[in-house]
Structure 1
Amino acid sequence: MAESGGGANLAVLEALDSARTQMYHMKAIVIAGMGFFTDAYDLFCITTVSKLLGRLYYSEDGATKPGTLPQRVNNMVIGVALVGTLMGQLVFGYFGDKLGRKRVYGITLVLMAACAIGSGLSFGKSPRAVMGTLCFFRFWLGFGIGGDYPLSATIMSEYANKKTRGAFIAAVFAMQGVGIIFAGLVSMIVSGIFLHFNPAKSFKEDPAGSTQQAADYMWRIVLMIGAVPALATFYWRMKMPETARYTALIEGNAKQAATDMTNVMEIQIDAEQEKLAMFKAANDYPLLSWEFARRHGMHLIGTATTWFLLDIAFYSQNLTQKDIFPAIHLTDKAENVNALKEVFQISKAMFLVALFGTFPGYWVTVALIDKMGRYLIQLIGFFMMSVFMMVMGVMYESLRTKQAVLFALLYALTFFFANFGPNSTTFVLPAELFPTRVRSTCHAISAASGKAGAIVAAYGVQSLTLNGQVKDIKKALIILSITNMLGFFFTFLVPETMGRSLEEISGEDGNAGIGGGASPGPAAGPGMGAPDMSRDDKIPVSSTEWQSSMHA
């Protein structure tokens, strides 16, 4: 039997770990990544139109100021998709382990496409009815988005070789950055087209809003476009075979696993049905067991807390962009532009921040994650985010009135270190740390913790900054700085996974596994991983002996 890091691994898994990077890896990144492109587009395009919704549905003819969404309605429109995402992560993550990654993978895309279209078709006789319908569809949109997190991460980690696994998983997640860019770009293009036929006037010149009908079409089109990438990749997702790790280790079919991987990748694999039975018996413990708690309990706490703290800061920055943009002179006051012009300016500002601040960080992570490691990148990211947010919070009044360029730079750098940092690594680590039997579920729990943080951002930080008061935004930035520093310290619960096979990391191959801390060196002792075994004990002659050696 092939060995990995001192543990006994299966040939099919060893072949995947050592396979050269090839076209199928690239194809898998695109197929899984388009899901994240869609996720990000659907979640963040609402930022470009939320002010528009207020002007359309909460403003009367002859009003002296443009309408705004009531705080409760704004929180619902922004936050309901995040609540749906949290629930979808837990549900799809669980079924990804129980029914298979592939079996539930296509359902998420269908749900996302249908609900993106439904969001754009939100109609009603009153503002309340329109917003209620919109919230209904965005909840289920979020539910589908939630399923994409654990399934995409798990599928990519189980296909990848151990040398470039971090870069592959990070590349899937990096499509989120592309999605955010397109959320701004598409909103900018659509509003720009309507503006061409409705020359911009200020609200003061046109309080009744002659552009109202055009604006109503505009936000619906932007939301419905989110269905396009989901539908475009559905066929290819259905063509992907189940991962070899799931087929072998969960379904117990080594022959099918070898056949599937031989068909799609240029590798030859021998089936090892007898050895597979012993391998499965050694790792047959559920999530809610002392064995899991002993081996991986602290890891799960680490991945869940860091993702929770990161998303409080990350989603606060994204969701409150429209309030910070005027402070750095990227947008005009609402009274000075009509509804379509305001959307155009918000979209343009969001596009520029994403292109120069958000997007580069993702791809720097892809380039360096298998050289620097996950642990160090996460520590650096949390620390730098905390520093920049504290500076912006303490100096907010001076920055917004006298040093707009510096303010914009600090704001962009915060996004850069979020993505060259914990926003990427918190996605990668849960896909690597946990055993195959519960990998999707554990990733789902970690991701759901993140969405709980995003909900705190939407209902807490968003509420704090809704009125755009200087003191409120200043207070929010300082709170977010402290939140990032907490994330820095909770990172110490998460181990380094770089350069190891998934089975070596989790201890599934008979290794001791890895403990907490940064060291990528020797495995941890019995306190965090499975008990170590001598070389002679690593390949027992029977299933009974295998289990005895694991639990001695």
Structure 2
Amino acid sequence: MFGRKAAEDVPASPTVNDTEASGGPPPIDQKPFMDAIWPVLACGAGLFSDGYINNVIGSVNTVLKRQYKDVYTSSHAANVVSAIAFAGTVVGQLVFGYTADRWSRTNSLLVSTIILIVFTALATGSYYHGDPVGMFNILAAWRFFVGIGIGGEYPAGSVSCAESTGELKGGTRNRWFILFTNCMIDWGFVIGAFVPYVVAAAAQNKYYGTIWRTSLGIGVVFPLTLFVLRLKLKEPEEFSRNSMKNARTPYSLVIKFYGFRLFIVSLIWFIYDFSAYAFGIYSSSILSNIYGDDAPLTTVFGWNTVINLFYIPGTMLGAPISDRLGPRYTLILGFLTQSVVGFIMAGTYAKLSQPSVIGAFVVVYGIFLSLGELGPGNNIGLLAAKTCATGVRGQYYGIAAAIGKIGAFVGVYVFPYIEAAGGTDKDTAYYQYPFYVSSSLCILAAALAFFFLPHIGQDTITHEDEKFREYLTANGWDVRQLGLKVGESIDSLPRETEETEKTEKM
């Protein structure tokens, strides 16, 4: 299976020389490493902020429960404050996916960063005339807008990051994309768990308002630093050459060419988020066997940090594997091995969940999390960013990511019913059933990737643009409109020669 890589890396579409002959742009020159790597960092590293801001709200939720007790737990906001950012994220992914294609990659990034900074700061200072319930509602409202900023990072940041890797040395492009996108998210999750631990220790586990507001407020520092770095960004070379922002996008042709592939990528992302968020409910079960409800916050947050650390080995070790095997095969490998571990956990849950062997349970659970990051966590975004042409990449990626996030919603909603199917007394089957379902879905997702997705090589973005140019030309769309600048008219561009037209028809 892996031996096909060398053959598949040779494109069936025209070579670079053929592309030049048919009116396509010349190849992108490789820059010195430091000049090429910093746009990749600036575009992708914003996801660190997203990981932190998303994860820290769990600790904030824990502190609010202790500070306000029944006033908080009985409020409507308590049910939505942790999840409402996901709704905003879906909105942000769709809106900024469109603006990244039709307006600007870099400007979309700057706007999403500003939204993150402003509304994270507002969430930190949430207040409503001394009324706790009103404050909870204000916090939930600000979190929705924070989600929009987070959503903008996915299509605008990840797509720009993928396009910028084309200026790096071949054989390393996938790992750098992963190290500055999914790896950043995972480190953000770890720091988002660790900062509340440090703050709680400094506040002696009792100044609750200081703990949760400081933990949230530190989330402003990361996007603020990144905003300064992003002010120097230019549009990726691929986008400058192949964008449709100043031309009418032929959506009917785009759907015919990419519709089925987008459906498969979105379905895989849906399945991954459905399973990942559903399995996430088991972290609370693990922790509840380690500490009681009255344990110090430092104990709670300390163990939460340990569990989040298990993401790091998978994403760090998986990055070079994606260069070696390719994102498609690495995703399949991760899904299949994760399903095996999931079935093992289901079959041995009765023994592993005993307090006397909780260390073994945490280790097995950690392996499961690492495999998820090595496979789909690292590579689903890479597949979404590199399986379509530059002109519609932002919208393609945004739709896939949004459907993935909807999968998370569905998973969280459906899994209590799956648990209930195993019994109402929370016996062994109650916890086993979700493992069986999610592990089976992992196998389904691996099969979808194997049979319906193309191989992703080091130069896939360039080859995909070539194929899309050929398709548009064959269907009568003038490809001179690709990369059209502001103020330029298609009539002002030089017309193709008869020899070029004959070459394209051949």
TM-score (norm 1): 0.76
How far the C-alpha of 1:541 sits from its partner, in A, is 8.5
| 25 and 321 in structure 1: CA distance in 2 versus 1, 3 angstrom threshold | farther
Residue 228 of structure 2 is aligned with which of 224, 235, 238? 235
- Tell me, yes or no, if the aligned pair for 1:108 and 1:145 is still in contact at 8 Å: yes
CA distance in 2, matches of 1:177, 1:546: 49
Question: Residues 363 and 5 from structure 1, CA distance in 2 versus in 1: closer, same or farther, beyond 3 angstroms?
Answer: farther
> Letter of the aligned partner of 1:151 in structure 2?
A
**What is residue 31 of structure 1 aligned with on the other side?**
42
Residue in structure 1 matched with residue 172 of structure 2 by the alignment: 164
Quick one: structure 1 residues 549 and 323, their matched pair in 2 at CA, closer, same or farther if it must change by over 3 Å?
farther
Distance 2:201 2:31 in 1: 46
Q: Please report how far the alpha carbon of residue 37 of structure 1 lies from its aligned counterpart in structure 2 after TM superposition.
A: 0.5
> Secondary structure of the equivalent of 1:144?
helix
Q: Residue 315 of structure 2 aligns with which residue? A: 362
Does 2:96 match 1:104?
no
Q: Tell me by how many angstroms 1:461 deviates.
A: 4.0
Aligned to 1:142: 147
CA gap 1:247/1:551 in 2 versus in 1, 3 angstroms: same
- Amino acid of the structure 1 residue aligned with 2:200: S
Query: In the TM superposition, what is the alpha-carbon distance from 1:543 to its structure 2 partner?
Result: 6.7
CA separation of 1:510 and 1:117: change in aligned 2, threshold 3 A: closer
Q: What is the CA-CA distance between 1:147 and the residue it aligns to?
A: 0.4
User: For 1:115 and 1:428, how far apart are their aligned partners in 2?
Assistant: 28
Cα deviation per residue 1:317-357 (whole Å; 9 max; x = unaligned)? 44652333223x3xx1103x2xxx23x223212222222x2
Give the distance between the partners of 2:504 and 2:73, measured in 1 at CA: 59
| CA–CA separation in structure 2 for the residues paired with 1:35 and 1:460 | 31
| CA positional deviation for 1:306 | 0.8
- Residue 324 in structure 1 maps to residue 286 in structure 2: yes
Partner of 1:516: none
Letter in 2 for 1:381: G
How does 1:266-305 map onto structure 2 within 5 Å?
Answer: 286=250, 288-289=251-252, 291-305=253-267
Give the stretch that moved more between structures: 90-99 or 460-469.
460-469
Q: CA deviation at 1:428?
A: 0.4
Q: How far 1:386 sits from its partner (Å)?
A: 1.7
- TM-score norm. by structure 2 comes to 0.82
The aligned residue for residue 68 of structure 2 is 57
Residue number in structure 1 paired with 2:54: 43
Contact 2:44/2:158 (<8 A) preserved: no
Aligned pair in 2 of structure 1 residues 222, 6: CA closer, same or farther (>3 Å)? same
What is the CA-CA distance between 1:217 and the residue it aligns to? 1.8
What is residue 477 of structure 1 aligned with on the other side? 435
> For structure 1, which runs of at least 5 residues remain unmatched after alignment?
61-67, 199-210, 254-279, 514-525, 527-539
Contact 1:385-1:484 at 8 Å conserved across structures: yes
Alignment CA distance shift 1:465-1:545 (3 Å): farther
Q: Is the 8 A contact 1:7 1:511 kept in 2?
A: no
Which residue does the alignment assign to 2:218? 225
1:198-243 Cα shifts (integer Å, max 9, x gaps): 5xxxxxxxxxxxx3xx112211111111110000111221211112
Alignment of 1:85-100 (within 5 A): 85-100=89-104
Distance 1:251 1:487 in 2: 32
Distance 1:474 1:3, change over 3 A: closer
Match of 2:326 among 367, 370, 373: 373
Unaligned segments of structure 2, at least 5 residues: 1-12, 475-493
Q: Distance in 1 between matches of 2:80 and 2:335?
A: 29
The answer to which of 419-428 and 478-487 deviates more is: 478-487
Question: For residue 405 of structure 1, what is the aligned residue in structure 2?
Answer: 359
**Alpha-carbon separation, structure 1, partners of 2:123 and 2:190:** 20
- Aligned residues of 1:7 and 1:510 also touching (Cα < 8 A): no
Cα 1:21/1:359, change in 2 over 3 Å: farther
Match of 2:341 among 385, 388, 392: 388
Letter in 2 for 1:409: V
- Which residue identity does 1:483 align to in structure 2? L
RMSD: 3.2
Residue 28 of structure 2 corresponds to 15
Alignment match of 1:192 (pick from 196, 201, 213): 201
Q: How does 1:376-525 map to 2 (within 5 A)?
A: 376-401=329-354, 402-461=356-415, 469=426, 472-492=430-450, 493-508=452-467
Does the C-alpha gap of structure 1 residues 463 and 347 become closer, same or farther in structure 2, counting only changes over 3 Å? farther
> Percent identity of the aligned residues?
22
Question: What are the superposed Cα offsets for residues 254-274 of structure 1, whole Å, 9 maximum, x if unpaired?
Answer: xxxxxxxxxxxxxxxxxxxxx
Q: Is the contact between residue 42 and residue 226 of structure 1 (CA under 8 Å) also seen in structure 2?
A: yes
Q: How far 1:51 moved relative to its partner?
A: 2.5
Q: Which moved more, 1:420-429 or 1:451-460?
A: 451-460
Structure 1 39/548 Cα, relative in aligned 2: closer, same or farther at 3 Å? farther
1:128 corresponds to 2:133: yes
Deviation at 1:56, TM superposition (A): 2.2
- Corresponding position of 2:479: none
Whole-angstrom CA distance in 2 between matches of 1:74 and 1:551: 62
CA distance in 1, matches of 2:280, 2:267: 20
Cα deviation, residue 69, structure 1:
3.1
Alignment of 1:181 onto 2:190: yes
| Counterpart in the other structure of 1:269 | none
Please say if 1:313 is aligned against 2:268.
no
Could you tell me how far 1:129 is from its partner in structure 2? 1.8
Partners in 2 of 1:105 and 1:368 — Cα distance?
29
Contact 2:127 2:134 in 1 (8 A): yes
CA distance in structure 2 between the partners assigned to 1:504 and 1:306 by the alignment? 23
- The one-letter amino acid paired with 1:172 is F
State the Cα deviation string for residues 259-303 of structure 1 (Å, max 9, x = none).
xxxxxxxxxxxxxxxxxxxxx9xxx753x31x3233222221121
The one-letter amino acid paired with 1:479 is V
CA distance 1:550–1:414, change in 2 (3 Å): farther
Q: Is the 8 A contact 1:299 1:495 kept in 2?
A: no
**Paired amino acid for 2:158:** A
* Structure 1 position 404, deviation (Å): 1.8
Q: Is the 8 A contact 1:303 1:429 kept in 2?
A: yes
Q: Secondary structure at the match of 2:51?
A: helix
